[in-house]
Amino acid sequence: MGIPKGRFIIDTHVHHLRLALKWKERGATPDFVGLGQGMRVLEGYDNSPRLFYDMERYGVDLCVLHPGPGAGDGSLTEEVIKKYPDKFVATYDGSAYVQKCKNGEVEWTIEGLCQDLDEKLSTGLYVGIGEGMPTGPVEDLNKPMDWGERFEQICHIMEVAKKHKVTIGWHTGGASGYSGGKSQLGSRSLGERGNPLLAHDVAAAYPDVPLIMAHGGVDGWWSDRTWELCLEVAAAHPNVYLETGQWWTELYEKPLRDPNIGIERLLWGTDWGAAHPVQWWPGAYPTTYFDQNRKEGVPAHQPDIFGQSLRWIDKLDITQDDLNLLLGGNAVRLFKLENKVAHTRFFKQFLK
């Protein structure tokens, strides 16, 4: 391992579960359309041995684990964060309650979801709500929900985040490979995923709740359209933060120069564990980016997300103190992780 790139490095967006669709058992051919259709029945298993290897290789000190497809009732994640409290913290999205709804044990309501969020956050095991805004079982991934109805649901969820003084995630972007780019795993079913500008309403209504734009508008593919929308929201609201782990180097320039965003509201979060190989466009812009390639098929290997993301960051011409904020300092402050760091005064601050 080489010299770590920061004093205390935190990846704020990690999935420790590897997802299994059991193609052979189902008599199915591995393809992205089948993968997109099967995401809701994926089975997750603990992939932390590979995660530990990459953390050691690249000098990553701590990871914020997020639920996702295959999370089940969330018990696997709880086992890991209890076993390795110095290496992992986690966010929660109501997985246990949604699983009960899928099993037919209870009928989903926003009140039931919020009660579950409240109970889980009260355990002290979780540092936030995420990775995206929680919801219930989605019947039709391509049927948009009325924003007024969804905003009312979100307000209930935001009240829980406000009560516990934790962060909350807002999913942005979508890889083009999954399911032929059709459903984007719900990017269009719940309008907030496909339209970051809706976050204006929520950030303005809850200025004391830190809102993290997961993926910072880049969740695979080469387009920066959604990234621009995320910058607009972040510039308008001091409580909005941007994940940068899938940003190629050039995407850092505008937010770093923008006086209403700056380094203090950027978080390194890569989506480690996702099946996003690196695509290479020699001579094009961007030269490299994360996305699936439907012609190649579903990746069986573990894409090296840490390595690629840190190569992009290597090209940034910023001070080491600012780099320390991006790679860990901002996350320490936002997720209240001071007790995880060996010393105080590691990160940029001034007396006033």
The pairing of strands 167-171 and 88-92 is: unpaired
For residue 36, what are the CA distances in angstroms to 13, 124, 190, 297?
A: 21, 34, 16, 13
pTM, two decimal places: 0.93
Nearest Cα residue to 244 out of 308, 191, 292, 183 = 308
In contact, 216 and 210? CB cutoff 8 Å = no
What beta strand segments (E) does 227-320 contain? 240-243, 266-267, 278-280, 288-290
Domains in the chain and their CATH numbers?
10-340 (3.20.20.140)
Res 128: pLDDT = 98
Q: What is the pLDDT of residue 161?
A: 98
In the chain, which stretches have pLDDT less than 50? 1, 180-189
Q: What letter represents residue 323's amino acid?
A: L
Name every residue whose Cβ is closer than 8 Å to that of residue 237 and which is 6 or more positions away in sequence: 199, 200, 203, 204, 207, 211
Q: How many other CB atoms are there within 10 angstroms of residue 301's CB atom?
A: 7
Nearest to 134 by CA among 238, 279, 126, 297: 126
pLDDT tens digits for 298-341? 788 899 999 999 999 999 999 999 999 999 999 999 999 999 99
* H or E stretch covering 12: strand 10-14
Q: How far apart are CA 276 and CA 32, in angstroms?
A: 12
Give yes or no for a cis peptide into 286 (omega within 30° of 0).
Answer: yes
Q: pLDDT tens digits, residue range 270-287?
A: 999 987 899 999 999 999
Residue 104: the pLDDT is: 92
Residue with tokens 């579960």: 17
